A and B are shown apart, each in its own frame.
Chain A
Amino acid sequence: DIQMTQSPSSLSASVGDRVTITCRASQGISNYLAWYQQKPGKVPKLLIYAASTLQSGVPSRFSGSGSGTDFTLTISSLQPEDVATYYCQKYNSALGGFTFGPGTKVDIK
């Protein structure tokens, strides 16, 4: 099975900082990768799919990049409302294989 890892597991940054979260797949997954945001006590929200496509309604300060095994989620200017845990997820073109990464918790310094 393809495993997903994320780094760091948590980070603390100041408002306005550029924040980067890394997700790595144990094998190549092309661009079959999504990013989700889960605020405390809330339901997960889709931010990005196909590694770099911004979901409708998501602020443009969020961006994604990567292909194959290495992916990044970038918040260009961290805002207080971005405090959340961020998960990457792989999905295959065929059914099966929807593994989530362990998550990265983002706080405000």
Chain B
Amino acid sequence: QVQLVESGGGVVQPGRSLRLSCAASGFTFSSYGMHWVRQAPGKGLEWVAVISYDGSNKYYADSVKGRFTISRDNSKNTLYLQMNSLRAEDTAVYYCAKQIAVAGTRAFDIWGQGTMVTVSS
């Protein structure tokens, strides 16, 4: 079945780095734009970054621009989020999400279970 599985979360000190991974299965990963979305404890959803199906286009939320990098390896069906210069306010559950296969629509139809990132000294 269609599935996204995140990994790589954990506890990290402020200023340090962490790389999240999202393993995709059950669909043609290389055909879809992919996103990272985060949710701080008890808060709403915040879109973080998007990468096009072939990795040629990437966009970021202002809150992470210059610190986070989204990438993908279509040969490994895996999405990544490199997070540098982490701050306490980056503490959240990080979800990867797949864009729906409908022309002109970029809603997210498949979500992973999320991985928790805690930035604390």
Q: Which residues of A line the B interface, CB within 8 A?
A: 1, 32, 34, 36, 38, 43-46, 49-50, 53, 55, 85, 87, 89, 91-93, 95-103
Contacts and interface: CB of A to CB of B under 8 A. Distances in A.
Identify whether the interface residues of B are mostly helix, strand, loop, or mixed: loop
Interface string B34-71: 01010000001111001010000101001000000000
Contact of B106 (A38, A44, A53, A91): A91
Interface residues of B, number: 25
B59 A102 contact: no
Interface of B: 33, 35, 37, 44-47, 50, 52, 57, 59, 62, 95, 100, 102, 104-109, 111-114
Looking at chain A's contact residues, is the secondary structure mostly helix, strand, loop, or mixed? loop
A98 B106 contact: yes
